[in-house]
């Protein structure tokens, strides 16, 4: 009996299901934590206390917000394509769960060891664009449509430099397995890829901000022009799920950045997973910092940055890495 249970639990499929369940729990908690953190960070930057009334230091504010969002009536605008309209938030959130599978929180704490982990993440995170597109199209609103058009152009453009930066690291290590890439950086601070590949890190992080639609690149939801862009017509949990997905994608890109460039779980004193989470949330904090201090760029400027700077830089970096790997070994 015991042996059967062990066999069942160690079966790859069972492990995957367990990991997915754990990830879902993590995403829920993460959403609440980041919601609170974002508002407190915004408060700190804007020299105000932020949420303070619900619970001690406003700690229960995210629960109040979540309760409010969940209890709201689901309203679809007149003339909306109801199927696509309600499908969009789900399409946005579902792939992000898979994206967490190959992320190495520590050598042991990895949802699923896939040797194509990076590819898996890039493939599934690309689905988010589809969700924004569906939301924009299904809403039957002009603002949403404009937001969706922006989202598609932006995501397609910024996926390229993102890929170029990731490829440079993959060339250097010779693997697409995130655990393996992180493991090569476990030899102390100077072995971290951010020092070996600083240009790739810069390209990756800037592209990541654009890929997650965060300010100053939050054009698909540019409030002052498009009211709320692709999610203008969403209320209640429709909006809530988009929100959760946005925060989850933030964590995914920051986790990938940590594994690729910041040494993964490497660090002294405390166990690896803490170091990993600490680095991830430090990067998330940087994203919040950007949002509350920068004005928004214009759409053509955004694409210019991508096509005129990031892609050439990423290409040059990739070629240089390839040559070095070839000649130096």
Partner 1 sequence: MSQDANARLTGDFYTAPFGPRIEEEGDTLILNMGPQHPATHGVLRVIVELDGEYIRRAEPVLGYIHRMHEKMGEVKSWVQYLPNMGRVDYLHALAWNWAYVGAVEKLMGLAVPPRAEYIRVITCELNRINSHLLWWGAYLLDLGAFTPIVYAFADRERIMDLLQMVTGSRLTYCYYRFGGVSADLGDEFIRGTHEFVADFRKRLPMYRGLVTDNMILRGRCEEIGVLSPETARRYGATGPVLRGSGVAYDVRRAEPYSVYDRLDFTVPTGRNGDAMDRYEVRMEEMNQCLRIIEQALEALPDGAHIAPDLSERLLPPKGEVYFAVEGARGKIGVYLLSDGGPTPYRVKLRAPGFSNLSLFAELAQGTLLADAVSILGSLDLVIPEIDR
Assess 234 for contact with partner 1 (CB under 8 A): no
Tell me the per-residue interface mask from 18 to 37 with partner 1, x by CB under 8 A, - otherwise. --------------------
Q: In terms of Cα–Cα distance, which of 53, 94, 134, 89 is closest to 236?
A: 89
Q: How many residues bind partner 1 (CB under 8 A)?
A: 28
Query: Smallest distance, Å, CB 44 to partner 1?
Result: 11
Residue 293 found at the interface with partner 1 (CB under 8 A)? yes
Considering only residues 117 to 156 of the shown chain, the ones binding partner 1 according to CB under 8 A are 142-143, 146
Q: Is 309 in the site for partner 1 (CB under 8 A)?
A: no
Question: Distance between CA atoms of 247 and 262, rounded to whole angstroms?
Answer: 20
Contact map string, positions 245 to 284, toward partner 1, x by CB under 8 A: ----------------------------------------
Element (H, E) at 229: none
Give the bridge partners for 104, in sequence order: 110
Rule CB under 8 A: say whether 295 interacts with partner 1. yes
Q: What is the DSSP string of 83-119?
A: HHHHHHHHHHHHHHHHHHTT-BSSSS-BS---TTHHH
Q: Are 37 and 43 in contact (CB under 8 A)?
A: no
Q: Using the minimum distance from each CB to partner 1, give the nearer residue, 115 or 140.
A: 140
Q: Which stretch binds partner 1 (CB under 8 A): 206-214, 225-233, 259-267, 271-279?
A: 225-233
Phi, psi of 217, deg, nearest 5: -110, 30
Q: Which residue stretch of 43-51, 87-95, 123-131, 272-280 sits at the interface with partner 1 (rule: CB under 8 A)?
A: 43-51
Q: Is the peptide bond before 216 cis (omega within 30 degrees of 0)?
A: yes
* Helices within 116-192 (DSSP H only): 117-125, 127-138, 142-173, 178-183
Minimum distance, C-beta of residue 229 to partner 1, in the bound complex (Å): 12
Q: Which is nearer to partner 1, 19 or 41 (CB)?
A: 41
Contact between 223 and partner 1 by CB under 8 A: the answer reads yes
- Does the protein bind partner 1 through residue 81 (CB under 8 A)? no
How many Cα atoms are found within 13 Å in the side-chain-facing hemisphere of 208? 27
Least distance in Å: CB of 161 to partner 1?
A: 19
Which residue in 16, 20, 33, 45 binds partner 1 (CB under 8 A)?
A: 45
In the region spanning residues 175 to 214, those forming contacts with partner 1, defined by CB under 8 A, are none
Residues 219, 150 contacting (CB under 8 angstroms)? yes
Q: Find how far residue 256's CA is from the centre of its chain.
A: 9
Kindly state the smallest distance separating residue 50's Cβ from partner 1, in Å. Answer: 12
Contact between residue 169 and residue 260 where contact means Cβ atoms under 8 Å apart: yes
Contact between 227 and 144 (Cβ < 8 Å): no
308 is an interface residue for partner 1 by CB under 8 A: no
Select the residue interacting with partner 1 from 160, 286, 292, 315 (CB under 8 A): 292
Comparison of 10 and 224: residue with beta carbon closer to partner 1:
224
Shortest CA distance to 176 belongs to which of 237, 236, 120?
120
Binding site for partner 1 (CB under 8 A): 42, 45-48, 142-143, 146, 215-216, 218, 222-227, 291-301
């Amino acid at each position: 009996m015991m042996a059967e249970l062990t066999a069942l639990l160690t079966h790859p499929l069972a492990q995957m299901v367990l990991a997915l369940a754990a990830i879902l729990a993590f995403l829920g908690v993460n959403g609440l934590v980041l919601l609170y953190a974002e508002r407190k960070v915004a408060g700190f930057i804007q020299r105000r206390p932020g949420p303070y009334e619900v619970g001690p230091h406003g700690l229960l504010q995210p629960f109040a917000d979540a309760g409010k969002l969940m209890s709201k009536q689901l309203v679809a605008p007149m003339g909306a394509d109801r199927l696509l309209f309600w499908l969009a938030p789900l399409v946005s959130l579902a792939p992000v769960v898979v994206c967490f599978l190959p992320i190495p929180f520590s050598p042991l704490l990895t949802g699923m060891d896939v040797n194509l982990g990076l590819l898996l993440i890039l493939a599934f995170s690309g689905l988010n664009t589809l969700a924004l597109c569906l939301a924009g199209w299904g809403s039957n609103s002009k603002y949403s449509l404009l937001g969706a058009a922006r989202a598609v152009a932006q995501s397609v453009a910024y996926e390229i430099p993102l890929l170029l930066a990731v490829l440079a690291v993959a060339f250097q290590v010779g693997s697409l397995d995130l655990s393996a890439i992180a493991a090569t950086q476990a030899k102390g601070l100077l072995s971290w890829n951010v020092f070996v590949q600083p240009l790739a890190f810069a390209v990756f992080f800037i592209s990541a901000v654009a890929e997650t639609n965060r300010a100053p690149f939050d054009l698909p939801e540019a409030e002052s022009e498009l009211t709320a862009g692709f999610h203008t017509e969403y209320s209640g949990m429709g909006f809530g799920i988009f929100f959760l997905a946005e925060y989850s994608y933030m964590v995914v890109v920051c986790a990938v950045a940590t594994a690729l460039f910041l040494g993964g779980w490497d660090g002294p004193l405390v166990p690896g997973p803490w170091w990993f989470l600490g680095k991830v949330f430090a990067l998330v904090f940087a994203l919040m910092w950007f949002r509350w201090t920068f004005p928004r760029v214009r759409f053509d400027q955004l694409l210019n940055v991508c096509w005129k700077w990031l892609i050439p830089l990423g290409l040059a970096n990739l070629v240089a890495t390839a040559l070095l790997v070839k000649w130096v070994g």
